[in-house]
Structure 1
Amino acid sequence: MEDHQNKNKIYKAFSVLSEESRELYLLGGIREIKNEITPLIFHREYASKNLPVVIRNGVQHWPAINKWSSEYFRRSFPNKLVSVAVTPNGYADAIGEKSVNGVSEEYFLMPEERLMLLPDFIDSLDKPIENSIFYIQKQNSNFNEEFQELWQDLEKDIPWATEAFGKIPDAVNLWMGDARAVTSMHKDPYENIYCVISGEKTFILHPPTDLPWIPYKQYKSGYHKEVSPGKWIIKPNKELSTGDFNKHVIVPWISVDPLNPDYERFPDYKNATRLEVTLRKGDILYLPSLWFHHVRQSHSCIAVNYWYDMEFDIKYAYFKALETLCEPNN
């Protein structure tokens, strides 16, 4: 009886947190600013409050906006090798199913990674291949690692963000891919400045205070492998560091698909605050650290994002406390 009462109290506290956040903190949606923002306003109104904001046409002045195209990349980089994520369904780093002895089991699945000539990658976008979806999405500061020739077309940082955060970006990543490529719901320990060069990106966002309603599970880890054209298998990741080759690598990941939520399995997800915004050519999104986000895109969309390391301050302490309270329910 006492345990039941305690669970009810915790659930009520979660509900109060969501309601108060929605009414007092989120104030109806994602703010938008046109063209530019100052470091002071960015820090005072958004970064310090861990609130997202869209700056429309914020990078419209970059040469990349009018320069980067399929034709430009083909012409300028005919022999350039790039790292590409390939999947049969467009979902890299996401939950998928693997059949084991006729029984379906959910796995956390990573993409097959390939080195491709950039023109061949462009061809995969212009003439999509069934059951093979290509996406440049390697999150290891791949812009610095693989696309240094393109620095002249944009800025090495976002000046107003660098001044507000008091640091330079930890990583700069380039994203380019098929409209079928989708980024599953997750969160990052970074302050994310996301800039769209061409096409559109649509973000579904949940604030960190929604953690009680976001279902996590522990999944065996695996990766996609194409064994012949159009034929894919799933290979498990094994625990190599311990020498136990029969032990699966386990990954905690979000179970729900916000595009098609299964409310029978995850009824609490109905309580989540859903914010949605579409970025177009030249737009910027400030995506604060620890915000949950899901991303889809238009065909041949190109984007660059700057990751600034988050401060492990009181918001992180609060989030970890909330995470601990949520553990029995996940």
Structure 2
Amino acid sequence: MSLKYVFRKMLPNCDNIPVTGDLDSELDFLEQIPETLEDCFKILSTEARDLYLSRTVPILDHPPTPLQFYRDYVSYNRPVLIRSAVSHWPALDLWRTNEYFRRELGSTEVTVAVTPNGLADSPVGDRFVLPEERRMKFSKFLDILENPESEPGIFYIQKQNSNLTQELPQLVEQVPELSWASQAFGKSPDAVNFWLGDKRAVTSMHKDPYENIYTVIRGYKDILLHPPTDLPWIPYRQFTQAVYKSSQDKTFSIQDIEGGETVPWICIDPLNPDLNSYPEYFNTTPIKVRVYAGETLYLPSLWFHHLSQSQGCVSVNYWYDMEFDIKYNYFNLIKNIKQLDKQNKC
């Protein structure tokens, strides 16, 4: 029985298969006997697109039940955008402007990431550069955010150690845990993070070992996604660890971290990919989504993602530890095969 026959029999009953061009051509490709590892990787990506992924993120107008969320999205490791999942959150009203933060948290000290270019935790040349972290009062941070030219550098509250519960516990009750997500995952969140910053601050492309429930409270986030099946086409390099340091004249330098190990990190900018250096990236399936205030994105574990934002965007995300199950095994298998193939080509 041919793959084309099987797929054609599936199509009338499967509303998740996207229109990706000439389906017959893709099915003919799948029936070919692969001759190289690159052929195998292409078949993997094609099957993923045709069986359960789409070129856009699915949208729900109302929060799902735990069963629906798990059955339709978590089990498939597939993202979904939910438009009214947090309509009951007090934060949607209280955090519309900075006034509430100034009044209630102005004297609270927070950890702020500062860089000269908005690239924190990101490759710069042959270095993987961490931001300079500064402790300052929330009111001082807001002054800089509202008048970015008042201080050299780009400022971003982005510390990912459950900074909402650790540094801003007063805000926790305004963004209560989403019960349908916790019930579907069968656990409580491992971390809750608070994000607020300059539109020039960018999060470089990476993946996380977490199930991510990401909600925008104010403004919007632009998120570029790649499914785990794009792993063969996403280039990595080893980078020396370094950190930004500012001097008394308020200029920045990059300093190596003494004793720091090299870091494997993605070495391509998905918004401006260098296809001359990394032609294999052409084979990827980028998916773009803009998450507006009041919307929640389920970002599955092991999905690659790159984030940018509007000025003064406020967001909160809940991290749940992923299950280290068969999808993790398969991901590592593809990673190891990719590395072996790269070594054999050298």
Provide TM-score, normalisation by structure 1.
0.91
Equivalent position of 1:63 in the other structure: 90
Moved over 2 A (4+): none
Unmatched 5+ stretches in structure 1: 1-6, 98-105, 240-247
Q: Residues 2-42 of structure 1, C-alpha deviation per residue, up to 9 Å, x if partnerless?
A: xxxxx961111001101111121203321000132111110
Q: What amino acid maps onto 1:121 in structure 2?
A: F
Q: How does 1:132-147 map to 2 (within 5 A)?
A: 132-147=153-168
Equivalent position of 2:245 in the other structure: 225
Equivalent position of 2:186 in the other structure: 166
Q: Residues 141-176 of structure 1, C-alpha deviation per residue, up to 9 Å, x if partnerless?
A: 111100101122120x22001100110000000001
CA RMSD across the alignment: 1.3
Provide the secondary structure at the position in 2 that maps to 1:134: strand
1:39 maps to which of 44, 66, 70: 66
Provide the secondary structure at the position in 2 that maps to 1:228: coil
Q: Residues 171-194 of structure 1, C-alpha deviation per residue, up to 9 Å, x if partnerless?
A: 000001000000000000000000
Equivalent position of 1:294 in the other structure: 306
Equivalent position of 2:49 in the other structure: 22
- Note if 1:126 corresponds to 2:138: no
Q: What amino acid maps onto 2:145 in structure 1?
A: L
Provide the secondary structure at the position in 1 that maps to 2:44: helix
CA distance in 1, matches of 2:252, 2:310: 25
**Quick check: 1:36–1:55 contact (8 Å CA) kept in 2?**
yes
Equivalent position of 1:78 in the other structure: 106
CA distance in 2, matches of 1:208, 1:189: 12
Identity of aligned residues (%): 51
Count residues in correspondence. Answer: 307
Which one scores higher on RCO, CA 8 angstroms, separation ≥ 6? 1
Equivalent position of 2:29 in the other structure: none
Unmatched 5+ stretches in structure 2: 1-33
CA distance in 2, matches of 1:71, 1:14: 51
Q: What amino acid maps onto 2:158 in structure 1?
A: Q
**Quick check: 1:92–1:110 contact (8 Å CA) kept in 2?**
yes
CA distance in 2, matches of 1:93, 1:271: 26
Q: What amino acid maps onto 2:116 in structure 1?
A: P
Q: How does 1:268-307 map to 2 (within 5 A)?
A: 268-307=280-319
Q: How does 1:108-119 map to 2 (within 5 A)?
A: 108-119=128-139
**Quick check: 1:31–1:54 contact (8 Å CA) kept in 2?**
yes
